Amino acid sequence: MKLKTITKEEIETLSFDDLAYIILKEKGKKMKTTDLFKTICELQNLDEKAYEEQIADFFTLLATEKRFIQLDKGCWDLRENHSIKIEQEEDDELDEEIIHNDIEEETEENYLDENKEIDDDETEDDLKDLVVIDENELEDEL
């Protein structure tokens, strides 16, 4: 979406953050908070009083909106223009060895768990203090 293609009525209905996004996308470079908001105020025909009353809210909006990133010296830009590149070393043989070893360990553990014998004596010891009471005995005690 380009500013030239948007009507004045549409500009007046757009939020500050949407306008800031369009402006930064179109310019393709970072802008200071004040310059960015002045541009928005000009587009929406807001006066100096509105600028002064809403500049702090605009700053907070930019700070909380994930599409923007704050740079040095009070400048803002689109986060999409500042991605982090992660380099991965090419050591495929080492990766394959690690994966292979992990699979072997998991297979051995699963085999041992599946073939583990259950000691029946252990379960009987757990139940040695269990007392079974008949309903009649229970009524007699009450």
- Cα separation, 34 vs 30, whole angstroms: 12
Mean pLDDT estimate for the chain: 79
8-79: which CATH topology?
Arc Repressor Mutant, subunit A (1.10.10)
The predicted pLDDT at position 13 comes to 87
pTM of the model: 0.57
What are the sequence ranges of the domains in the chain? Answer: 8-79
On whether the CB atoms of residues 68 and 20 are closer than 8 A, the answer is yes
Confidence of residue 94 (pLDDT cuts 50, 70, 90): low
pLDDT, tens only, 70-92: 998 889 999 998 877 666 666 55
Cβ-in-10-Å burial (0-12, 13-18, 19+) of 18 comes to middle
On whether the CB atoms of residues 64 and 14 are closer than 8 A, the answer is no
Q: Quick check: 99 pLDDT over 70?
A: no
